[in-house]
Each structure stands twice: as C-alpha cells, then as structure tokens.
Chains A and B, each alone.
Chain A
Amino acid sequence: MKLKSIKLHPFAGIRDKTIDFEDGVNVLCGPNEAGKSTIYHAILNGLLTTTSLTTTKVESEMGRFFPVGGGDVIRVDIELQDEDQKTIRIRKAWKKGNRQGSASLYLADNTEITDEEQVQQGIEDLLPVSAATLRTILLADQSGLHRTILEMEKEDGVRKELGDILRQNLMETGGVSVDRFRELLDGRYEAYYKRWDRSQDYPERNRGISNPYKTGTGKVLDAYYQKEQLRLDLADAKSFENELDALNKELSEWIGKQKERKEKFDKLQPLKKGISQRQLLEQRVETAKGKRKELLEISKGWPVMEDRIIQLKPKQDKLREKIEALIKEQKLSQNKQKAEQLQAKLKKLRDVRSRVEAAQKELKEAKEIDFEDVKQLRERRSEINNLNGQVEGARLTLRIISDSDKSIEFTESGKEGEKVKLSSGNSIEKIATGGFSLTIEGVDVVVYSGEGDLEKIVKELSSKKKDLQEKLKALDVDSAQSAESLAELYSQKLQNKNNEEKLYNSELDGKSEEDLKKELEELGDVDEVRSLEEVSEEIVKEKTELNSLSREADEAKEKLDKWKESFESVDDVIMELAEQSKSIKDISGEIEGLPELPEGFTSADEFVERVDEFDHKIRRADSLINEKKLEKTSKESNAPETSSEELEKMMEDAKADFERIHHEAETLANVRERTIELLESMDANTYSGLEENFLKWLRQMVGNRFNSVQMNGDLPTTFQTDDGRPLSYEILSHGTKDIVSLAWRFALTEYFLQEQAGFIVLDDPMVDMDPERREMASDVIEEFAGTHQVLVMTCHPEHAEQIKKNSSIIELF
C-alpha cells in the first residue's frame, strides 16, 4: 500500500492543494510548521480520524485544522495504491457541529461506501499495519526514540544501555512508559495493600482491630479497620442498649415494688399507735379478767375449804385407830411366822439326823482297808511282775528218753514238783521257765538257765509271791484290785457320814433340838392368827387413805392460810371482785374507740414489727433505687453516640466499601501480576530479529565508526569505539543519535510491515548530522526507499537536495 496523492481543500493553512507522491523517496521541503506538518496531519487524519465526531471532539481533535480566516469545513482526499496497482480513493470532510462530517471510500473495484463508521473501518482494514502502529511507527511526526530517551534520562537517571533503550522504545511506542506504568502499579498496589497480608487476607502480623496499625496503612486495611471498628461499635451499642434495658427493667421493678410498699405502709403506719394502745389495754383487760377469775374462785373456795377441814377430821381419827389395832395384830402375825419357821427347822433336823445314823451304820458295816495297805499290795505285785519277767525270759525245753519204765519227779523252778512216769522207749518233753529240777532215782538234777543269779531270782520270786498271798489273806481279799476297790468304798462312806454330821450341826447352829422345841412351845398357840402379809397389806392400805385425807386437809388449810394473808375474810374478796368487774368494763369501753388489728396479723406486736420492718425496707429500697439511678445516669452519660440501628446501617455501608475496595485491590494485584509476567516474557524473546536489521542499517550509516557492538542475547548492549572505549547512548553525539534513530525507524518499519509494501514519513532526519554522515544517510534512505515508499519532510533545502537523488523536490509554501 502506497500513498498516491493527497488533496487538502482546505486544511489548516492550505486552501486547495494536491500533492502527488511517487514510489521511492519523496522529499517535501518547506518552512517549519507552515507546510510540512500540515501535510503530515492531513495524511494522518485522512487515514485515521473518523468524520463522525461530536461537537466537542471536532473541536478537540480537528479544531486546529480549520482555516483561521473562517469556514466551517475542512477536507482531505487521499489516493492509495494497493499491491495490484489499483487505486483506492478516500474523501473526508469534517464540519463543525455534532457529527456533521462526511466521508466516502472508493475501493479498488470502484465500490463506494459512505457510512462514516464503515468508511473508517474500511480504511483501517486496508492499511498494512494497525492504526496505532501506523500512527506511532510509520507516521511518527518526530523521533519517538529521541523523546523516549530524553524522558527516561529525566526521570530516573539510570544509565540504561542502548539495547535496553531500543527494546523499551518498542515496548513503549504510543507513549506508555513501562517504568512509569510499573511505578504507578506499585504505587497503587502499595496504597491498597500497605500493612495487609494478601496471602492470609488479613492485616499483617495478625494485627486486627484489637491492635490496629495507626499509621502507614493502605486502603484495604483502612476499609477493613473501618468496618471492624463499626462492628465493635455496633456490638458495644447493642450491649449498651441491652444493659440499659435490663437496668431500666430492674429499676422499674424496684420502683414499682417500692410504690406498692409505700401505699401499704401509708395505710398501716397511722394505725400503729392506736393498735399499740389497744394491745396495752387488751392486756390490762386480760389481767383484770384473770384477777377477777381468781377472786371468783377464792370467794367460792373459801367456805368450801373451811368445810372440808371440818369434814375430814373424824375420818382421819378413825383411820388412825384402825391402823393402831392392825399394828398390834401385826406382832402376833410375826410370832406365827417364827413358829412356822421353827417347826420346819425341827422337821429338817429330824431328817438329817436319820441320814447321819444310816451313814454311820453303813461305815461300820464296810470292810476297812486303808490306802497304805493297797499301796503295799501294788508294790509287791509290781516286784513279782518284774521278777516274773526276768524268769519268763529263760525258757528251757527238756526231752527225757528212758530205756525202761521209770518214775521221775520234775519240778519247774518256783513251782510244785510233779511225778512223771516214763515208759520204755518213749520220750517226754517238758518246758520250764528259768530252771527246773529233776529227780531220777535219787539223783537230783537242778538246772537253771544262764549263770547262777537266776536261782536267786526264782527264790526271791517265790518268796515275794508267798508274802503277797499272806498279805491278801490278812486283809481277807482275793486280789490287790479288790482291795483297792474296797478301800475306795470305805473312804466314800466315811466321807458321807462326815458330811451328814456336818449338816446336822450346822442346822442346829449351836443349839440343840431340845432348845428349839422349847422355843416353839414358848410361842404358844398361833393357829388363829392372820398371816403377816395380810395384815401388812391392810396397814398400807389404811395408811394410804389416811395420807390422802391428810393431804386434802393440808391443802385446804394451806389455801385458806394463803387467802387469809391477802384477805381478812371472804367478804373482802367479794368487794375486790366487784372492783375488778368495773375496771374491765371501763377499759373495754376505751378499747372500742381504737383501730382494730388488720387482717393477716395475729398480734399488735407483729403488726408493729411489720410496719417497722416496712419502714426499714422502704428506706433500704430508696437508697438502692438511688444507687441504681446513679448507675443508670453514669451509664447513660457514657452512652455510645450512635444508636445500634444507625450503626447497623453504617456497618453495612462500611462492609460494602470494604468489599469494593478489596475487589479493586485484587483487580489491581491481578493487573500487576500480569504485567510482571508479561514484562518477563517480553524481556526474554519478544523482539528477536529486530536488532539485526537495526545493526545492518546502523553500520551502513556509521561506516567503521564503531568497532563492535556488544550483544546481550539478541540485543546490543554497548557500542565500542575504535580505541576500545564503550560508548553508551548518552555520550553519542547528536548526529550519531540521529543515525541511531533513523536505523531504528527503518528496523521497526521492516519489523511491522514484514513483506508488505508500505510508506514511512521522516521528519527532518538529518538535522544534526555532519555532511559526511548526511551523505551516507541519504544513501541509506534511498536504499530503504527501494522497498518502501519514503516521505521525507525537511525545512533545509540543502538536505532536500542531498536526499532527493534522482527524484524531484515537492516545494511547500
């Protein structure tokens, strides 16, 4: 797409002029501001500004292009040529007023469009780059690079390397400084989020409303604190209101109760004196009545008592006599009892005596063996048993065989000998203990077992046995056992006799049976006398009765005595009685005029006590009510300024504010994050390829001025001079800066147009270059114009001459 012609009729200072453009370089030469910027703006607006503008927009965007001398319309016609050499025509007219302009677009096939929106859209569709790119890169009115660099140097003073500057220049085409944008974002972010912990979505260091930051807080935290403070205030206000309600309720109840109490008290209080007096008088009446009753009793009792004493006297005397007789009878009854005891004793003595006699007789008849004899018998037998044992231990067996009939005597030691007849050829066997003797035909054979002592033992045994037999005989018993039991029997009987004798003597108690019989006789005949119990019982009975009568008499006497202490006679009593009755009547009359005890009270004392208690309670409640009132007053003086209802509304607003601010902040944070991400990725590889073109154009214009360009990845960081010094952009001369700018414009134009044909406007590109560089620059412009149409605007005719080469100069006036 190339520019073929432009017609201004009128536009700014130009009334009617058509300029035709050629392919390649077009040099427009004219005085500054007069012509060249008018052509530039006509191209720019002819392509990019809609004619459908509001009144204000016409003024702000196009106002300065209306003819100074008058007229309310400006027009620009542009002819473009597309790749196929077909012509496209644009006609635009802007008029003052609201949307008064008009536009036509004649496409390559001669289609005409007149809807202003569509015309503009159609133009933009035809352009090889976007409208913004066209404005900022291809039609830049002056070096954007230059401006960017100046701004950057002014703003942060950071020495930026050339490559960064170039890259940033592209990023910032359109006048948006990335650094300023970042600063703005960071500033806003900070303004929102100061002291706010985004990850926790809570104030930093958990400093909530109870421990808030006082300074250095961001909007989010401010809004949060605001909301939270209102929440607390609301809670305070609510609790204050509830407490006040409770206090009021309590106070109301107290005051209500107090009112009741006072009403009641006011009713009761005036009765108090009357009722106390009534009580006093009633007590006096009671006392008087008691007295009267007492007097009445005395007056009635006096003659009765006197009479009673008289009546009782004979009865008492009779009883006394009877008791005396009974006491005499009682003595006889005692003798009778004694006689009966003696008779019984005598009978018992007789019985015991007969038992003594029987025991004596039995003793006499029993065999008398004493325990000494029994002892001797036992000893003897024991010795025999002992000796017997020794002899029994030596047993001998004797076999006698005779060759003829013979008679022999065999005697076992200690025993009687026996005659034994032996027949021829026969044998006799004998067994002997200890020893034996054998007498055969005059020969005595004595045999003892063991050595010689046994014979002695056998003899001793024999002698002991004999002795035992003699003793038994002497005692007339057949055995030692029988002697022992007889001795036992005798001993028992003796004992029995002694016991009975002892009993008998003890019964006698030092007297004899004769004495006792004599005593009995002396008591005489007591058969007709009553028993002692019977008599005693009667005495007790009579005495009791006597006592009772005496007591009755004593009491009567006592009463009379007492009465007589106060009164001389019964007449006195009757007079006193009359006085009391009168007194009772008088007091009762007095009582009638006094208030009665109200219901619910049992006594005047209780009444008075209750009234006093009431009084006390009322005073106490009064002071309590005053305390409560004070408490209330002090509470009310600390009342929250704002009611809970209003606070509730305020809190709702604050909540909404917080939500809104929080949302804004989050939105901002997202934009910031996206920006950071984007800048990182753009830094890495967005503009690859661009710098190669830049260096190509640069080298052509500077010749060997720079030995090398240091690269950082794809971008140059430093230019190095011949003597090896690094040369950063700032220390390049103005002329060199123009060259860098031009090379950059070419590189950018190629970058955006790619393979398409397009056009570029250069505004005085060689102002600060020396003639040598201008030459090289104009060569480079010519070379670039081989691909893309170039419109060079200058106010220097000699520059125009240098650049034009083979083309002609379009003179502007």
Chain B
Amino acid sequence: MKIFHTADHHLGLRFKNHPEASETLAQSRYKTLDVLVGMANEQNADIFAIAGDLFDRTGMKVSDIQRAVQAINKFEGNVALVLPGNHDYITEDSQLWDRFKKEAGENILVLDEKEAVDLTEYDLNAVVWPAPCHAKHSAENATGWVQGEEKDPDKVHIGIAHGSIEGVSPDFNQQYFPMVVRELNNTGVDIWLMGHTHITWPEKPGKKDIVFNPGTPEPDGFDCGHEGRAFLHNVAEDKSISTEILSTGTYRFRKMERSLNSASDMEKLLAEFGNENYNHTMLKLAVSGRLEPDLYEQWREKRHGIREAVLELKLDDSELRRKVTEEQIRKEFTEDSFPEQLLSSFSQSDEDELQMAYELIKEVQK
C-alpha cells in the first residue's frame, strides 16, 4: 500500500511580512498542491493523505476552497484523506469544511471525527484512526482515544494527526495538541501520518520508525530553510514501512551569512548571484567584514544586483564596514582640519560612530 503523505500546505497564507513576494508565494502554494497530486498519481499512490493545515485559516474564500478541492479531486488513487489541522480546525458548524465536503469528489474523505474509518469501501484493507483538531489552540492530545480501541490484526492501521511533537517540533509547546513519539508508538497503530511541524522528521526514516512528519511541501518562512518535502510510504504485507522523501515546492527561504574583506570576497558573492539561479529564493543575507572605502562604495553600488537576482532580499549589511584607519584619514583629510580631527577622535570601540561620521563627511564633501 502506497501512501503519499503531505501536510501544512497553508493555502491562503498571505505573507504580509514579505510584501514584495507575497502574491507570488501565496499563489505558489496552490500550484504546489497540484504538483503533489500529480506526483502521487505518477507514483501510483493508493492514499493521498493531508495531515492537517491544508488551509491557513478557517475563513477561506469559496473560490479558494474550490481550487483546493479541484486539485485533490484529480488524485487517481483509492482515497484522499484530509485531516483538519489547527489552522483549518473543524467545528460542528464549520463553513470551511461544509463547503469543502460539498465540493469534494467521492474519493475524498474529510476526517472530521475521532472515530475509526474502515477503508474497505475504498478497496483498501486498512483502518484510519484520525485525530482532527477542533480549535487553533488546545492542550489536548487528540490521539488519546486511539490506544484503547480494539484493532483488527489483519488490517493496516493508519493514524493521522496534527500537532506539535515533543523533541521534534522546534516550537514545541503545550497549546498545539501536544504529542509524544513514545506514546504514539504504543497506540497499536502501524503508521502515524503527522502534520504541523514544518520540518521533515525523521530526517532519515529508519526501519523501526512509524511516526512520520513530512514538513511543509512549500516553505513559508526563514524558520523553514530547507526545501519543500513530502513522504511516500510503502507499507508492505508484513506492515513494514519504507519511506521515500520527495522534494516538492518551488520556493526556498534561505539565510546566508557572508564576510567580505577583499575585492575578491565581494566579487565572489556578487558572482554567485549573477551565475546561480536564485529567482525562486527568498534571501535573508547578513554581510559583515571590512572593505577599503572604495570597495565599500562599490558594494553599495552593486549590491542591488543581488536583490534583482532573488525573489525577495532581506539584506543586513550593517556589519559590513569601511576600513577607516588612521592612515586612511591622514591620506584623505588635511591635518587639523575638522574632518581629520573628528574622525581621529573616535577610538576602536566607536567603530559604528567612525563609520557613520565618515559616511556623513563624505556626503558633505561630495
């Protein structure tokens, strides 16, 4: 049995903190969903499982819900399982999920109840044990009910849940449906399809692993610097699991730190963005180092090249400084003149002040 496992699409995410790229990034998430369904079809997956947060919020536009459902409707396998996560949580009167179900095809199953779902009617010898979220925040472990239930040993038991996992989620916190791997391992379920944490876990799935968190298929922030990912689980007759990590998504959020201390450093950095393809990258670039004043000016002139090469640049080059030495000052300014005296008055510890004074003097001098 092949399970294509994804989570945390966050359709409808607005990317307000990335004003330049927000529209592109928002749209790319829908495209990624299309791509994932296509991949699942190519891989002949039996199940397409979305372990929560397909949507970023419950108040979605109808047209956006339709767009998502239309993408999933294209899944050609036996059944698509869609679990409400903490962002698209289910309530008794959920307009989001009511609309979703209305639009959904016959082989889309919204897992909105904590009750076992037998997949026999989808020609699968499996039972799904869902742990849907009913709120954005909750200290409840929604999988708690699964352990006590009787399980037919002849069937494959698939748990599907959404929430933070102790020791796995970087922002593990008790208000996001907290879970513990050890407890999940003891629920009598053969495989747990998890969602919520945007990073992939385990990084290298082993034979004994049964709890899987694919991470988001389309990264959504600098705290999620890896590529987008999904899992393809192959559950054998003996219920052993082999898992393949699939690269998905278009955009990357990268953090880079560079130190520029010479013309070649600078040229290398500029060349990197001149040559390599970064136009799908959101870049947070921190540049530090010391450059000769003329090189520094060059940097100021040429750094926009990086901005043009990437989708969005958040550049912090406040730690990149002109090399303003005593010698330099003597070379440039008449002895005893005001600029010479002002610049010479700053000590090593006043480097920021020296830089700023130099820059201002240069501005006046021009």
Chain A residues within CB distance 8 Å of chain B: 54, 57, 124, 129-133, 136-137, 170-178, 180-181, 184-185, 188, 241-242, 244-245, 248-249, 251-252, 255-256, 629, 632, 636, 639, 641-643, 646, 649-650, 653, 660, 663-664, 667-668, 670-671, 674-675, 678-679, 682, 686-687, 752
Which chain B positions have C-beta within 8 A of A255?
92-93
Given contacts A132-B330, A132-B340, 14 further A-B contacts (CB under 8 A): A132-B332, A136-B337, A174-B339, A176-B339, A181-B339, A184-B364, A245-B136, A245-B137, A251-B92, A252-B92, A255-B92, A255-B93, A664-B356, A670-B353
Is the Cβ of B57 less than 8 Å from the Cβ of A643?
yes
With the chains together, A136 CA to B336 CA distance in Å? Answer: 12
CA distance A670 to B338 in the complex (A): 16
**Whole-angstrom distance between the alpha carbons of A283 and B177 in the complex?**
58
Interface size in chain B (residues, C-beta < 8 A): 50
Q: Among B56, B57, B335, which residue has its beta carbon within 8 angstroms of that of A752?
A: B335
The residue from B14, B337, B342, B345 contacting A642, defined by CB atoms under 8 A apart: B14
- Whether the pair B93, A174 counts as a contact (CB closer than 8 A) is no
Interface status of B274 (Cβ within 8 A of chain A):
no
Q: How far is the CA of A177 from the CA of B362 in the complex (A)?
A: 11
Contact A176 B365 (CB under 8 A): yes
Top 9 nearest A-B pairs by Cβ distance? A255-B92, A245-B135, A173-B334, A171-B338, A130-B330, A650-B17, A667-B352, A248-B91, A136-B334
B297-333 interface bits toward A, Cβ cutoff 8 Å, 1 = contact, 0 = none: 0000000000000000000101000000000001111
| Interface assignment of B145: CB less than 8 Å from any CB of chain A | no
The binding surface of chain B is classed by DSSP as loop
CB pair A670–B364 under 8 Å, yes or no, is no
**Complexed CA–CA distance, A175 and B364 (Å):** 8
B14 proximity list for chain A (CB < 8 A): 641-642, 646
Contacts of A642 in B (CB 8 A): 14, 16
Q: Is the CB of A686 within 8 A of B17?
A: no
Chain B residues with Cβ below 8 Å from A136 are 334, 337
- When distances are taken between beta carbons in the complex, the residues of chain B under 8 Å from A241 are 136-137
Residues in chain B within 8 A of chain A (CB atoms): 13-17, 56-59, 87, 89, 91-93, 134-138, 221, 223, 263, 294, 316, 318, 330-342, 345-346, 350, 352-353, 356-357, 360-361, 363-365
Q: What is the minimal beta-carbon distance from A60 to any residue of chain B, in angstroms?
A: 10
Interfacial chain B residues near A679, Cβ < 8 Å: 338
Contact of A632 with B93 in the complex, beta carbons under 8 Å: yes
**CA–CA, A710 and B324, complex, Å:** 41
Asked whether, in the complex, the Cβ of A248 is within 8 Å of the Cβ of B360, the reply is no
> CA of A664 to CA of B317 in the docked complex: distance in angstroms?
13
C-alpha gap A765/B297 in the complex (Å):
37
Given contacts A650-B17, A663-B352, contact A639 B59 (CB under 8 A): yes
Which of these, A178, A248, A664, contacts B135 with CB under 8 Å? A248
A650 → chain B closest CB, angstroms: 4
Closest to B136 in A: A241
Give the distance to chain A from B183, nearest Cβ to Cβ, in Å: 23
Which residues of chain B are near A671, meaning CB under 8 Å? 342, 353, 356-357, 360
Contacts of B136 in A (CB 8 A): 241, 244-245
Q: Give Cα distance in the complex from A650 to B17, angstroms.
A: 5
- Shortest CB-to-CB span from B95 to chain A, Å, is 9
- B342 near A173: Cβ-Cβ < 8 Å: no
Given the complex of chains A and B, what is the CA–CA distance between A178 and B221 in angstroms? 47
How distant is B344 from chain A, measured CB to nearest CB, in Å? 10
- Known interface pairs A245-B136, A650-B17; A172-B89 also in contact (CB < 8 Å): no
Q: How far is the CB of B219 from chain A (nearest CB, A)?
A: 13
Q: A57-B294, A649-B17 are in contact. Are A174 and B330 (CB under 8 A)?
A: no
Q: Which residue of A175, A641, A664 has the most chain B CB atoms within 10 A of its CB atom?
A: A175
Contact A248 B356 (CB under 8 A): no
Q: Which residues of A contact B134 (CB under 8 A)?
A: 248-249, 252
**Chain A residues, CB < 8 A from B364:** 176-177, 180-181, 184
| Complex CA distance for A18 and B294, rounded to whole angstroms | 33
> Taking A131-B331, A650-B17, A678-B345 as contacts, is the C-beta distance between A629 and B93 under 8 angstroms?
yes
* Shortest Cβ distance from residue A758 to the other chain B in the assembled complex, whole angstroms: 13
* A145, chain B: closest CB distance, angstroms: 13
Q: Nearest-CB distance from B9 to chain A (Å)?
A: 15
Total A-B pairs, Cβ < 8 A: 143
CA distance A668 to B352 in the complex (A): 9
Chain A residues lying within 8 Å of B353, measured Cβ to Cβ, are: 667, 670-671, 674
Residues on the A chain within 8 Å of B87, using CB: 643
Given contacts A646-B17, A660-B318, contact A129 B335 (CB under 8 A): yes
B360 touches A181 (CB 8 A): yes
Q: State A241–B137 Cα separation when bound (angstroms).
A: 8
Q: Is the CB of B336 within 8 A of A686?
A: yes
Return the chain B residue nearest A169 by Cβ.
B337
- Contacts A132-B331, A255-B92, A671-B357 hold; do A170 and B352 have CB atoms under 8 A apart? no
Residues of B within 8 A of A181 (CB): 338-339, 360-361, 364
Contacts of A248 in B (CB 8 A): 89, 91, 134-135
C-alpha spacing A258/B16, complex, angstroms: 41
**Contacts A131-B331, A136-B334 given; does A678 touch B361 at CB 8 Å:** no
- Give the complex CA separation of A249 and B331 in angstroms: 73
Q: With a CB–CB cut-off of 8 A, which chain B residues contact A172?
A: 337-338
CB nearest neighbor in B for A176: B339
* Distance between Cα atoms of A641 and B336 in the complex (Å): 59
A249 to B91, CA, bound (A): 8
Distance between Cα atoms of A649 and B340 in the complex (Å): 44
In this complex, the member of B93, B138, B340 whose beta carbon has the largest number of chain A beta carbons within 10 angstroms is: B93
Question: Contact between A668 and B335 (Cβ–Cβ < 8 Å)?
Answer: no
User: Is A251 in contact with B93, judged by CB distance below 8 angstroms?
Assistant: yes
Establish whether residues B135 and A170, one from each chain, have CB atoms under 8 Å apart when the complex forms: no
A682 touching B332 in the complex, CB below 8 Å, given contacts A650-B16, A667-B352: no
Instruction: Kindly list chain B residues whose C-beta atoms are within 8 Å of the C-beta of A54.
Output: 263
User: Could you say which of B56, B338, B363 has the most chain A C-beta atoms within 10 Å of its C-beta?
Assistant: B338
Whether A678 and B337, one on each chain, are in contact in the complex, defined by CB atoms closer than 8 angstroms, is no
- State the CA gap A632–B89 with chains docked (Å): 14
* Known contacts A130-B331, A642-B16; A670/B365 CB under 8 A: no
- Which chain B residue shows the least CB distance to A188? B360
- Chain B residues near A650: list those with CB within 8 A: 16-17
Complex-state Cα separation, A171 to B342, whole angstroms: 11
Nearest A residue to B57, CB-CB:
A643
Residues of A within 8 A of B223 (CB): 649
Contacts of A664 in B (CB 8 A): 318, 356
Which chain A residues border B294 with CB–CB below 8 Å?
A: 57
Select the residue from B56, B57, B360 with max chain A CB neighbours within 10 A. Answer: B360
Of the A-B pairs whose beta carbons lie under 8 Å apart in the complex, a sample of 11, sorted by A's number, is A130-B335, A137-B334, A174-B339, A176-B338, A176-B339, A181-B364, A251-B91, A251-B93, A649-B17, A663-B352, A674-B342
Name A677's closest neighbour in chain B (CB-CB): B345
Which of chain A's residues has its CB closest to B331's CB?
A131
A124/B331 contact (C-beta < 8 A), A248-B91, A255-B92, A632-B93 known: yes
| Contact among A174, A646, A663 for B13, CB-based, below 8 A | A646
A258's nearest neighbour on chain B, judged by CB, is: B92
Q: Is the CB of A184 within 8 A of B363?
A: yes
List of B residues within 8 angstroms of A649 by Cβ:
17, 221, 223
In the assembly, what is the distance between CA of A256 and CA of B332, in Å? 81
The answer, among A175, A184, A682, for a CB contact under 8 Å with B360, is: A184
Residues of A within 8 A of B331 (CB): 124, 130-132
Distance A670 CA – B360 CA, assembled complex (angstroms): 13
Q: Which of A173, A188, A653 contacts B337 (CB 8 A)?
A: A173
Give bound CA distance, A643 to B59, whole Å. Answer: 11
Chain B residues near A131: list those with CB within 8 A.
330-332
Give the chain B neighbours of A687 by CB distance below 8 A.
336
> How many whole Å from B101's CB to the nearest CB in chain A?
17
Q: Give min CB distance, B268 to chain A, whole Å.
A: 16
Chain B residue at smallest Cβ distance from A667: B352
Most chain A C-beta atoms within 10 Å of own C-beta, residue among B87, B263, B330, B339: B339
* Smallest CB gap from B358: residue in A: A671
Q: In the complex, which residues of chain B have a beta carbon less than 8 angstroms from the beta carbon of A130? A: 330-331, 334-335
